[in-house]
């Protein structure tokens, strides 16, 4: 790759299959932690009205969002911006990510522009998040937290099938 950047995924894009279907140059380089943030399913999808993930900044430095660091071609960042609804649903920010060896890198990631309480993620969206967490071996306690998030079944069976077809 010519000009590469780091991207930190913490939601559905943790799934390599999902992210690479969107941005073909994305390559997993390891797990990471975003300190002082917590994971919330409170970003209202502009497409279907369900909840999506947000790395929500908190005052307490002990709060942490686990996720995956990817390297991708910088020329594909506008493509990822479109998928993430940059400027409409999310803002793209550069944040410091802690690596397992204690090192730190600055990576692009997305944060919700607004939070919406009382919405639930679709089961297919949560499946992407869980597949990514499993694929990259996120900590068991974090996995349990993700598992505990209630969902609503996507009423559009064709959309659900399309979403999950990448795992077949």
Closest C-alpha to 107, from 135, 80, 140, 137: 80
Q: Which of 3.30.70.20, 3.10.490.10, 3.40.50.720, 3.30.420.40 would CATH assign to domain 4-167?
A: 3.10.490.10
pLDDT at 6 over 60: yes
Residue 2: pLDDT band with limits 50, 70, 90:
low
Residue 1: pLDDT band with limits 50, 70, 90:
very low
Share of the chain above pLDDT 70, in %: 99
CA distance 131 to 112: 22
- Binding-site members are 7-12, 125
pLDDT at 129 over 90: yes
Q: Where are the domains of the chain?
A: 4-167
Helix (H) or strand (E) holding 142: helix 140-148
Closest C-alpha to 54, from 9, 105, 96, 98: 9
29-54, pLDDT tens digit by residue?
Answer: 999 999 999 999 999 998 889 999 99
pLDDT at 139 over 50: yes
- Binding-site members for substrate are 7-12, 125
The pLDDT of residue 59 is 73
Return the active site residues. Answer: 84
pLDDT at 116 over 80: yes
**Quick check: 72 and 84 in contact, CB under 8 A?**
no
């Amino acid at each position: 790759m010519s000009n590469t950047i780091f991207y930190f995924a913490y939601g559905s894009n943790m799934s390599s299959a999902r992210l690479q279907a969107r941005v073909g140059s994305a390559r997993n380089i390891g797990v990471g932690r975003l300190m002082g943030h917590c994971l919330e399913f409170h970003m209202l999808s502009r497409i279907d009205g369900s909840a999506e993930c947000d790395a929500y900044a908190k005052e307490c430095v002990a709060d942490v969002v686990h996720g995956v660091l990817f390297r991708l071609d910088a020329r594909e960042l506008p493509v990822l911006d479109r998928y993430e609804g940059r400027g409409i649903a999310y803002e793209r920010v550069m944040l410091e990510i802690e690596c397992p060896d204690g090192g730190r890198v600055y990576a692009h990631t997305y944060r919700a522009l607004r939070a919406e309480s009382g919405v639930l993620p679709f089961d297919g969206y949560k499946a992407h998040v869980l597949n990514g967490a499993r694929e990259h071996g996120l900590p068991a306690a974090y996995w349990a937290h993700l598992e505990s998030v209630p969902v609503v079944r996507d009423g559009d069976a064709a959309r659900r099938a399309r979403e999950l077809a990448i795992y077949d």
